[in-house]
Amino acid sequence: MTDPSVIIGFLLIGVALASIGLLIVAISRAAAHGLPSSRVVEYAPPPTGSIFEHGLAARADRRVLTAAVIDLAVRGRIRVLTARTRRRAIAIEVHAGASLTPEERDFLGAFRPAAMRPRQQQRHLRALRDIGIAVDRPESAPDVVFLRGRGAFRGYRRRRLTEFFDATRRRMTADGFTRRAPNSVHLVLLSLLFLAVLAIGLVLMLGAAVEGEWLGGVAVLVDVALVFWVLTLAPPPLLRFTDRGQELRRHLSGLRDYMRLAEQDRLRMLQSPEGALRTPAGALTPGGAALGLRPQPTAGDPVAQSALDRFELIERLLPYAILFRQERAWQREFEHLGGAVDVSQNMRVLGGTLEGVVVVLQALVIIGQIVRAVGGILSLFGRH
């Protein structure tokens, strides 16, 4: 019978190793989430790059998919469909004739195969019926992709979204925002820690099985699982930014500062000389011009025009509120000013669903890092 003190000792060793891993994760997360301070408050998103590139530049990887979907929704390119069924399906319908960039088409195409097999077609038609769209043939179906429910092609989505993020990072490098090799030191350290625990754990579990000490083997297995769980908490490889990339990040920091000020006291901010969108005479201020508001007032009185300008402001910045974790106050304001209720109500469920998708993608990146580390170590042994 296994000595209880031995089991407790194994578990304490696992806790100690997991604590080391958590320290590495904490340091890497602190480095991942920081934006450089900006001396200038920015009124509008950066003029270069897309919402995807801006999300990666802000190191908001887990929120960039939600921000992109909301960006397409508030611009009227798509609508979000949900169903109160057992499967709780969530889908995106692309409006007929919607003007999409090649990047946006690649993004939406990552959720459904372009050419579906017969079984996939039948599954897609059943999923459409779950959200109230009854069609008999795939050719008659609207352009709908599923984020959750029986119509979600999870394996295909994981593969295509991984490719999409890789292409976005390569584009950022080609545009001069990032250097070629991202910083993966934290993943290498965590991978080595996990490999060491796994190798020693396999030896100990084999010995426990030979001796019939199953409780000792279970304790070692718990240690291995605990260290692997810590590894999955790590952020993905950290992009290394060039001077141009740091300038982009400073712009995003200035935009975040503006949105933070506006969130604390939006009315006062929009009526102040620094934050107003129009002068008392109705002309655009630099901030209003930067947002791309219409030069000429279109409402009958200054109060109505102010509400219209605020709506355009919030519509433009709502995706960035998601990136900066400021979406709740902006969501309430969006509803108050007459924004699309389906967009606002689905923001929370979209966030939970798409953040979960990115967590899985990041876990796959980490597993890939482990596989590469194992291959590197085995190749070293193979040379000797």
What is the block-wise mean pLDDT of the chain (384 residues), using blocks of 10 residues?
74 90 90 79 86 93 88 84 72 88 94 89 88 83 87 89 92 93 82 86 84 81 89 83 94 88 51 47 52 52 48 71 76 50 54 71 68 64 58
Q: Give the pLDDT score at 271.
A: 45
Answer whether 240's CB lies under 8 Å from 178's CB: yes
CA angle 51, 238, 36 (to 5 degrees): 70
Q: Is residue 261 part of a domain?
A: yes
Q: Give the pLDDT score at 328.
A: 67
11 token code pair: 């578990």
Q: Give the pLDDT score at 268.
A: 45
Q: Give the pLDDT score at 252.
A: 94
Answer whether 262's CB lies under 8 Å from 270's CB: yes
Dihedral (CA of 33, 39, 45, 48) sign:
negative
Q: Is residue 319 part of a domain?
A: yes
For residues 91 and 181, give the distance between their C-alpha atoms in angstroms, rounded to a whole number.
36
* One-letter amino acid of 305: Q
Answer whether 88's CB lies under 8 Å from 147's CB: no
Q: Is residue 73 part of a domain?
A: no
Residue whose C-alpha is closest to residue 103's, from 59, 146, 144, 49: 49
Q: Is residue 150 part of a domain?
A: no
Q: Is residue 90 part of a domain?
A: no
Q: Is residue 305 part of a domain?
A: yes
Residue 253: give the domain boundaries.
244-351
Q: Is residue 174 part of a domain?
A: no
* pTM attached to this predicted model: 0.73
The tally of domains found in the chain comes to: 1
81 DSSP β-pair partners: 91
For residues 252 and 67, give the distance between their C-alpha atoms in angstroms, rounded to a whole number.
14
Q: Give the pLDDT score at 384.
A: 54
Answer whether 260's CB lies under 8 Å from 325's CB: no
Instruction: Print the SS3 string covering the chain.
Output: CCCHHHHHHHHHHHHHHHHHHHHHHHHHHHHHHCCCCCCCCCCCCCCCCCHHHHHHHCCCHHHHHHHHHHHHHHCCCEEEEECCCCCCCEEEEECCCCCCCHHHHHHHHCCCCCCCCHHHHHHHHHHHHHCCCCCCCHHHCCCEEEEECCCCCHHHHHHHHHHHHHHHHHHHHHCCCECCCCECHHHHHHHHHHHHHHHHHHHHHHHHHHHCCHHHHHHHHHHHHHHHHHHHCCCCCECCECHHHHHHHHHHHHHHHHHHHHHHCHHHHHHCCCCCCECCCCCECHHHHHHCCCCCCCCCCHHHHHHHHHHHHHHHHHHHHHHCCCHHHHHHHHHHCCCCHHHHHHHHHHHHHHHHHHHHHHHHHHHHHHHHHHHHHHHHHHHC
Q: Is residue 50 part of a domain?
A: no
Q: Give the pLDDT score at 55.
A: 93
Q: Give the pLDDT score at 235.
A: 81
